[in-house]
Amino acid sequence: MTTDKSASTGGIIMVVGGGISGLTTAIESAEVGYEVLLVEKEPSLGGRVSQLKQYFPKLCPPTCGLEINYRRIKDNPKIKVFTMAEVEEVDGSPGDYTVKIKITPRYVNEKCTACGECEKVCESEISNDYNLGMDKRKAAYLPNNIAFPSRYVMSSSMLEDDKNKVKEACKFDAIDFDMQEKSLEFKVGAIVWATGWTPYDARKISNLGFGMYQNIITNMMLERLAAPNGPTKGEILRPSDSKAPDTIAFAQCAGSRDENHLSYCSYICCMASLKHATYLRGQYPNAKIYIYYIDIRASGRKYENFYKKLKQDENIFFIKGKVAEVSEEESTGNINLVAEDTISGEKVRQNVDMLVLATGMQPNASLDKPNADLQFNSDGFIVNDFKEGGMFAAGCANKPADVITSNQNATGMALKAIQTLVGR
Amino acid sequence: MAEKYLAQPDLGFIDEIVNLGGDTLKKCFQCATCSVACPIAPDNSPFPRKEMIAASWGLKDKLISSGDIWLCHECGDCSELCPRGARPGDVLSAIRSTAIVEYAQPKSLARAVNDPSKLPFLLGIPAIWFAIFAYITMAAGETMTRLFNKIGIAWSHDTHGAIAHSDFFSTWFVDLTFIPLSIFVTIAFAIGLKRFVVDIHENAVAENKTNRKDLNWGGLASAFVRIIPVILKHDKFNECEANKDRSTAHMMILYSFIGLAIVTGIFFVVLYIFHIPGPYSQFNPVKWIANISGVALVIGSCLMIKNRMAKEDQVTLYKDWYILCIVLSLGVTGLLAEMTRLAGAATFSYFLYYLHLIAVFNLFAFLPFSKMAHIVYRIAAMAYAEYGNRK
């Protein structure tokens, strides 16, 4: 990509969220010559995609798509990235917004080379959010092994003793505990909200036992277990006794298409479970996989073919009927599940080593509402008001979507933002 | 499943279900959460998922002849977990309503009982009937005494000077009303019940819900005996989660009816065989049963009404209110009539007794047609499930 033939710019585009959608909007806008401020609340870009083992359509590892994008950002002086930054307030109108952002101190400056000496000496530990709390990490940590910026973070909860130790260990004078929270203000012409999603809190689904029984995990947890940079280095082992599971069941629509939880279809969970079946088949050729579903939503030719291929697999079983009751077999930690197979009309009671809940997407905008003049639908997704213009939602801030759809949408929103700047 | 099944959708039936509280029917997307959520659904061909799709397709014949709709105790566990708010519990309740009408003879009476615009008639006819006979009792005592003497029986009983309701409304008239009525009710039920049992058997065979090929009435009767303790202990009811408190209220009403039936039977014998007329002493143990039952009836029905009003995810319609109000007024008027009698307020007591008679008539005469018919159909379906090894 080249930025040489860039058009003359008439303002700045702010992109909120540095996941796959935000990256796309930021890069597409910058590469046609616009100034972009990319605001990410985590210490690294990459968002949910960075947590996956593989992602659709080609089942690439996240490095595949993220590294090229990081590279494009590095090479492009028009993109300014703020990590650990959150939008506090938006004022103004299309073409003329004033945005206040708050930056949480990282306690590490640009001199960091990610050498890891600080991590070695630090003894304090914190819950590892990157692995959805399945393990702990040091209070001096690199967000993940493909983090961008590739720079350590010092948790504010680090013990004083450790603070001295890590400062001493750093040969580059990169650690600075005197950093303060910062507030910055920017004038921008357009804002693209790519605030993404959070896995729905499976604890709320009272009849599916998550949080009560160890061997009931969520699909994102499985993704972390399967990922080579995950808590088990890519080995899918069940939590209670680190046993390799022989029988694994998936409960589709766990909290999605459900008025008591998320009333909409989260779109990704069917394909995610099908993909997870391939992870399991790859790792455990003899394992039996049972997918309990209401409807399999494999939309489009490619996804349909993927589903068809899995249906042929002799170790993957599809049962039409939602898992609605679970219990734990005390002696083994196995999970007993109950569903009605609606094809045969019989209740199915099955004992499995592990149950995976295919939980859906909750828009972050519904959990932490942006302080801006935006419209939300009843599910908390941001509605795009193209007539008003100025602010747009891209990717999963706008609707549940896979990576391809998010990127198409994010590219479109880059164009919408540009149109606002040039006054069309 | 039968080899071939030609679906015959009855669109009118769908409307009927919708109007009877099953308006959420079409929201169902067949996820089958309900069949698992239901604590009493069997493993083989569980309900209510299959009933939901049959109802939305208008398969009336399949549904009203299904014993399964009666195994449901309407606890609401399915409605609570339903991801679509389709309220299967209410849909099944609506289907049962249509089944009661379907098996009732005469059907026009069944429709009237379930139609709020006919309520004035349902109350008015017994009101006039009892008014006429109260008038005869009060005003034509001497004529009646002469008339009765001619056939050699005593018109009135000596009531030892106490206030007695028989002075207001002769026990002869009470029994001349209610004995033919109970014969009518029994016949109406017998006709409906026979068709019902034959139908649910056929349905169970067609849908593989039983391992019995033939219907053996003796076997069914012994199955009935086996389920009596289940009913008395409310075992099935108590398996419910969402609506647990309803079981207690229902139990109170059931036991008070059993108590009152026993009391009525005893006093019938006492009056006609031992020729001892009422009112009976408050120290009489039978009277204790009567009083306890009356109080339990009022408390039970009040609790039920309270539960109904508190429940937002369950619809309560005319069919439910009608029967709840009849039961409550039965208890209230009965107890008040007794209390005013003991207090010596004859006019009040007579009036309350008059209202009590109307309530008894409504409960009794319309038993096979109102929601109360569940006494017979649910027990029959439970007995059949026991007989047919429904598991």
The complex scores an ipTM of 0.88
Sheet of A96-103, strand order: A85-93, A96-103, A182-188
In 3D space, the residue among B357, B338, B342 whose CA is nearest the CA of residue B290 turns out to be B338
Q: Which structural domains are found in chain B, ordered by start?
A: 11-103 (1.10.1060.10), 110-387 (no CATH)
Q: Does A254 touch chain B (CB under 8 A)?
A: no
Please name the residue of chain A whose CA is at the shortest distance from the CA of residue B80.
A260
In the prediction, which pLDDT does A3 show?
A: 43
Record the pTM: 0.91
- Token couple for B353: 């007794």
Chain A residue whose CA is closest to B81: A260
Burial class for A157, CB neighbours closer than 10 Å (0-12, 13-18, 19+): exposed
Q: Which residue from B minimizes the CA distance to A348?
A: B43
Beta pairing partners, A15: A38, A192
Across the A/B interface, how many CB contacts are shorter than 8 Å?
A: 64
Q: Which residues of chain A lie closer than 8 angstroms to B79, CB-CB?
A: none
Partner-chain contact B31 A321, CB within 8 Å: yes
Name A58's Cβ contacts closer than 8 Å, sequence gap at least 6. none
Q: Is A339 an interface residue toward B (CB < 8 Å)? A: yes
User: Which domains, and CATH codes, for chain A?
Assistant: 12-104+181-197+362-421 (3.50.50.60), 201-359 (3.50.50.60)
Q: Amino acid identity, residue B269?
A: V
Select the residue of B32, B83, B84 nearest A340 (Cβ to Cβ). Answer: B32
Show residues of chain A in contact with B390, CB under 8 Å. none
Minimum-distance CB partner of A346 among B30, B43, B85: B43
Residue-by-residue pLDDT tens, chain B, 391 positions = 456 777 788 999 999 999 999 999 999 999 999 999 999 999 999 999 999 999 999 999 999 999 999 999 988 899 999 999 999 999 999 999 999 999 998 889 999 998 999 999 999 999 999 999 999 888 887 788 788 778 777 777 665 667 788 888 888 888 889 999 999 999 999 999 999 999 999 999 999 999 999 999 999 999 999 999 999 999 888 888 777 778 899 999 999 999 999 999 999 898 888 888 778 888 899 999 999 999 999 999 999 999 889 887 788 899 999 999 999 999 999 999 999 999 988 899 999 999 999 999 999 899 999 999 999 999 999 999 999 998 8
Cβ pair B41:A347 closer than 8 A? yes
- In whole angstroms, give the CA distance from residue A140 to residue A163: 9
Asked if A119 has any chain B CB less than 8 Å from its own CB, the reply is no
Can you give the pLDDT at residue B5? Answer: 73
Q: Looking at residue A4, what is its pLDDT?
A: 43
Beta carbons within 8 Å of A334's beta carbon, 6+ residues apart: A215, A328, A351, A352, A353
Task: Return the structure tokens found at B98.
Answer: 């249509």
The answer to whether A342 contacts B49, with C-beta atoms less than 8 Å apart, is: yes
For helices B217-233 and B374-387, the axis angle rounded to 10 degrees is 110
Closest C-alpha among A28, A74, A218, A66 to residue A147: A66
Nearest C-alpha neighbor of B82 from the set A148, A153, A207? A207
Answer yes or no: do A340 and B46 touch at CB < 8 A. yes
pLDDT at A88: 97
Q: Considering only the beta carbons, identify the residue of A260, A294, A325 that sits closest to B29.
A: A294
Tokens, residue A105:
């101190």
Left (φ > 0), alpha (ψ -120 to 50) or beta: where does A395 sit? left
pLDDT of residue B240: 81
**Chain A environment of B29 (Cβ under 8 Å):** 257, 294-295
Q: How far is C-alpha A413 from the chain's CA centre?
A: 20
Q: What averages of pLDDT result for each successive group of 10 residues across chain A (424 residues)?
A: 44 96 98 96 97 95 95 96 98 95 97 96 96 96 96 96 96 96 96 98 96 98 97 97 97 97 97 98 97 96 96 97 97 97 96 98 96 96 95 98 97 96 81
Q: Which of B49, B81, B83 sits opposite A340 (nearest CB)?
A: B49
| Predicted local confidence at residue A6, as pLDDT | 42
DSSP string of B342-385, one letter each residue: HHT-HHHHHHHHHHHHHHHHHHHHTTTTSGGGHHHHHHHHHHHH
Using a CB-CB cut-off of 8 Å, the residues of chain B touching A294 are 29-31
B346-365 and B318-343 are packed helices; what angle lies between their axes, rounded to 10 degrees? 150
Contact yes or no for A342 and B84 at CB 8 A: no
Contact criterion met (CB < 8 Å) for A340 and B84: no
CA-to-CA distance for B90 and A360, rounded, in angstroms? 29
| Chain B residues within an 8 Å CB radius of A204 | none
DSSP B243: T
Give A339→chain B minimum CA distance, Å. 6
pLDDT at B161: 64
How many other CB atoms are found less than 10 A from the CB of residue A123? 13
Q: Name residue A57's amino acid.
A: P
Nearest chain A CA: its distance from B82 CA (Å): 8
CA pair distance B24, B39, nearest whole angstrom: 22
Phi, psi of A257 (to 5 degrees): 50, 35
Q: Which pLDDT score is estimated for B87?
A: 95
Identify the pLDDT of residue B51: 96
Q: Rounded to whole angstroms, how far apart are CA atoms B173 and B57? A: 50
CB-CB contact of B300 with B250 (8 Å): yes
Nearest to A259 among B30, B35, B85 (CB): B85
Amino acid A330: pLDDT = 95
Q: B44: which chain A residues are within 8 Å (Cβ-Cβ)?
A: 345-347
List, as one string, the DSSP characters of A195-253.
--EEE--GGG-GGG-BTTBTTEEEHHHHHHHHSTTSTTTT----TTT-PPPSEEEEEEE
Please name the member of A207, A253, A347 whose beta carbon is closest to the beta carbon of B81: A207
- Check residue A198 and give its pLDDT: 98
